């Protein structure tokens, strides 16, 4: 869609001047007519990363047969080693997948359960993943148990107690978000994994938001499974994510698509490599571009990734403080439990809004986009009328943009 078409879709421009983004915004492909405060949903590629992906795609198209037969395997190996080093795990247990949701379904499809088994999660888990959990439970006659993790949250101990207190002798698997998607806070996964794995309960950590937001050491967590996206905070192309599998769980894991690797007689590659690295014809350029994204982002600021994480977190905290002050509300979680996203309570949904159609989760989201050109999610949680705005902070954002958001919310909820 062209900029002109986008303007037509959104209607007339707001009377107020649009706020200025951070100077680094020039590195991104984002529409300058949109105040983009929703990096957490689908990320956003810098120009340099898009150019790198195009180079990989052009190399494929120059000689497709040679690319898939001769070139792809060593290229994937190089990308895997670089990506595994970035997230802190050994490359032998690392496989590329298209997104964390696929990884969760991959693990669940590979596991066997018994009637009466319990699969543990909480209301803060991503809905697509809990759907997969529910489908798996129905298939085997198991039960999904939702730990009563509260919101607002007082501290890490409260989360730890809720999750581990909901585990029983029948719990076989726990699906835990490293950073919660609907509520945007960091859970104490190190403590939770250590406790549950110590009880013999396998943990599947949904780290969809963690790579690039947090300095994670996946192998050190000790979880049976860990998945994360690169297309969010690492700013790699859509379709780039990973699944790490602990050594004692690799033999029983298979991709969702069974292909040539399942019956391969090769002995120079592990079964994990043979099955996951090639599942038929697909565009692997997103995976191959992950090292380019890691390097490109690191080069944007002196200090590289530690400085990126610091800047984004500080901006998220400042933006949350500003919004809480302007909207007259209190922080929903302690500062120490935030990375580069934060949730801020907004006035509850009205009966009139319940009757309004919406393209998003809430009519307020639509109005902020259509009337003020602000792209930011309004999330009903735990259920309407309660709702909050979930802000993201990336290098291209400025505090002025959150000031504009605060006034737009005030205008739309008076």
Helices (H), 168-289: 189-198, 218-221, 271-276, 285-288
Q: Which CATH number does the domain housing residue 64 bear?
A: 3.40.640.10
**213 inside domain:** yes
| 140, 87 Cβ separation under 8 angstroms | no
The verdict on 365 and 274 lying in the same domain is: no
Segment 41-60 mean pLDDT: 98
Rounded Cα distance, 202 and 63, in Å? 44
**Main-chain dihedrals φ then ψ at residue 343, nearest 5 degrees:** -105, 140
Q: If phi over 0 gives left and psi between -120 and 50 gives alpha, with beta otherwise, what is residue 303?
A: left
Rounded Cα distance, 96 and 264, in Å? 19
The verdict on 236 and 309 lying in the same domain is: no
Rounded Cα distance, 375 and 244, in Å? 32
The verdict on 288 and 331 lying in the same domain is: no
Please report which confidence band the pLDDT of residue 1 belongs to, taking 50, 70 and 90 as the band edges. Answer: very low
Domain's final residue, options 243, 275, 295: 295
The verdict on 171 and 126 lying in the same domain is: yes
Say which range, 95-99, 210-214, 357-361, 392-396, has the weakest mean pLDDT.
357-361
The verdict on 322 and 391 lying in the same domain is: yes
Residue among 363, 356, 357, 401 nearest 379 (CA): 363
Mean pLDDT of the chain: 95
Residue among 336, 320, 294 nearest 389 (CA): 320
Please report which confidence band the pLDDT of residue 284 belongs to, taking 50, 70 and 90 as the band edges. Answer: very high
The residues pairing with 211 across neighbouring beta strands, listed in sequence order, are: 214
| 234, 82 Cβ separation under 8 angstroms | no
Domain's final residue, options 295, 313, 346: 295
Domain's final residue, options 295, 325, 351: 295
Rounded Cα distance, 365 and 381, in Å? 14
Rounded Cα distance, 340 and 357, in Å? 30
Is 227 a residue whose pLDDT tops 50?
Answer: yes
List % helix, strand, coil for the chain (3-state, nearest 5): 45, 15, 40
Please report which confidence band the pLDDT of residue 157 belongs to, taking 50, 70 and 90 as the band edges. Answer: very high
Residues shown for the chain: 414
Segment 161-173 mean pLDDT: 98
The verdict on 307 and 162 lying in the same domain is: no
Rounded Cα distance, 276 and 204, in Å? 18
The verdict on 90 and 222 lying in the same domain is: yes
Q: Kindly list the strands in the beta sheet with 225-229, ordered across the sheet, starting from the edge strand earlier in the chain.
A: 94-97, 241-245, 225-229, 202-207, 171-177, 118-122, 143-147
Question: What is the number of alpha carbons within 13 Å of residue 34 lying toward its C-beta?
Answer: 20
Please report which confidence band the pLDDT of residue 305 belongs to, taking 50, 70 and 90 as the band edges. Answer: very high
Rounded Cα distance, 217 and 220, in Å? 5
pLDDT given at position 247: 97
Say which range, 13-17, 205-209, 268-272, has the weakest mean pLDDT.
13-17
Please report which confidence band the pLDDT of residue 17 belongs to, taking 50, 70 and 90 as the band edges. Answer: confident
**152 inside domain:** yes
The residues pairing with 120 across neighbouring beta strands, listed in sequence order, are: 145, 174
The verdict on 135 and 60 lying in the same domain is: yes
pTM to 2 decimal places: 0.95
**400 inside domain:** yes
Domain boundaries, position 359:
3-33+303-412
Is 377 a residue whose pLDDT tops 60?
Answer: yes
Distances (CA, A) of 280 to 68, 277, 284, 395, 408: 10, 9, 11, 37, 48
**40 inside domain:** no
**43 inside domain:** no
H or E, element range at 328: none
Q: What six digits make up the tokens of 117?
A: 């088994």
Counting the structural domains of the chain, the total is: 2
The verdict on 342 and 234 lying in the same domain is: no
**39 inside domain:** no
The verdict on 122 and 253 lying in the same domain is: yes
pLDDT given at position 252: 93
Rounded Cα distance, 297 and 295, in Å? 6
**46 inside domain:** no
**104 inside domain:** yes
What are the tens digits of pLDDT across the range 312-332? Answer: 999 999 999 999 999 999 999
Rounded Cα distance, 128 and 294, in Å? 27
The verdict on 138 and 92 lying in the same domain is: yes
pLDDT given at position 10: 56
H or E, element range at 315: helix 304-327
Q: What six digits make up the tokens of 383?
A: 């259920």
Is 156 a residue whose pLDDT tops 70?
Answer: yes
The verdict on 190 and 337 lying in the same domain is: no
Is 6 a residue whose pLDDT tops 90?
Answer: no
Distances (CA, A) of 79 to 29, 86, 293: 24, 11, 11
**CA 151 from centre of chain:** 20
Please report which confidence band the pLDDT of residue 289 belongs to, taking 50, 70 and 90 as the band edges. Answer: very high
Q: Which CATH number does the domain housing residue 315 bear?
A: 3.90.1150.10
């Amino acid at each position: 869609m062209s900029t002109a078409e986008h303007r037509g879709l959104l209607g007339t421009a707001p009377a107020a001047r649009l706020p200025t983004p951070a100077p680094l915004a020039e590195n991104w492909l984002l529409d300058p007519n949109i105040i983009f405060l929703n990096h957490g949903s689908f990320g956003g590629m810098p120009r340099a990363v898009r150019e790198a992906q195009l180079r990989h795609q052009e190399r494929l198209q120059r000689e497709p047969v040679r690319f898939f037969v001769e070139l792809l395997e060593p290229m994937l190996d190089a990308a895997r080693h670089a990506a595994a080093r970035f997230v802190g795990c050994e490359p032998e247990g690392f496989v590329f997948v298209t997104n964390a949701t696929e990884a969760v379904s991959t693990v669940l499809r590979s596991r066997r359960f018994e009637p009466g088994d319990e699969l543990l999660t909480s209301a803060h888990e991503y809905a697509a993943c809990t759907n997969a959990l529910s489908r798996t439970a129905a298939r085997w006659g198991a039960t999904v148990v939702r730990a009563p993790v509260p919101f607002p949250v007082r501290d890490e101990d409260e989360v730890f107690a809720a999750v581990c207190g909901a585990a029983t002798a029948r719990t076989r698997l726990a699906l835990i978000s490293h950073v919660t998607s609907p509520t945007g806070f960091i859970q104490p996964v190190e403590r939770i994994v250590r406790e549950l794995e110590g009880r013999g309960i396998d943990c599947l950590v949904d780290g969809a938001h963690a790579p690039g937001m947090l300095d994670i050491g996946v192998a050190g967590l000790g979880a049976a499974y860990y998945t994360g996206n690169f297309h969010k905070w690492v700013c790699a192309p859509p379709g780039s994510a990973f699944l790490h599998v602990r050594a004692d769980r690799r033999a029983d894991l298979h991709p969702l698509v069974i292909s040539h690797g399942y019956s391969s007689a090769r002995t120079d590659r592990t079964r994990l490599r043979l099955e996951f690295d090639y599942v038929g014809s697909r565009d692997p350029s997103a995976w191959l571009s992950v090292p380019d994204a890691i390097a490109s982002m690191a080069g944007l600021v002196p200090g590289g990734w530690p400085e990126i994480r610091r800047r984004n977190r500080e901006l998220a905290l400042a933006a949350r403080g500003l919004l809480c002050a302007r909207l007259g509300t209190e922080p929903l979680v302690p500062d120490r439990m935030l990375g580069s996203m934060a949730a801020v309570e907004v006035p509850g949904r009205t009966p009139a809004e319940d009757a309004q159609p919406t393209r998003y989760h809430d009519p307020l989201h639509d109005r902020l986009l259509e009337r003020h050109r602000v792209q930011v999610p309004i999330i009903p949680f735990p259920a309407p009328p309660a709702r909050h705005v979930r802000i993201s902070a990336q290098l291209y954002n400025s505090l002025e943009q959150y000031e504009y958001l605060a006034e737009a919310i005030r205008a739309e909820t008076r």
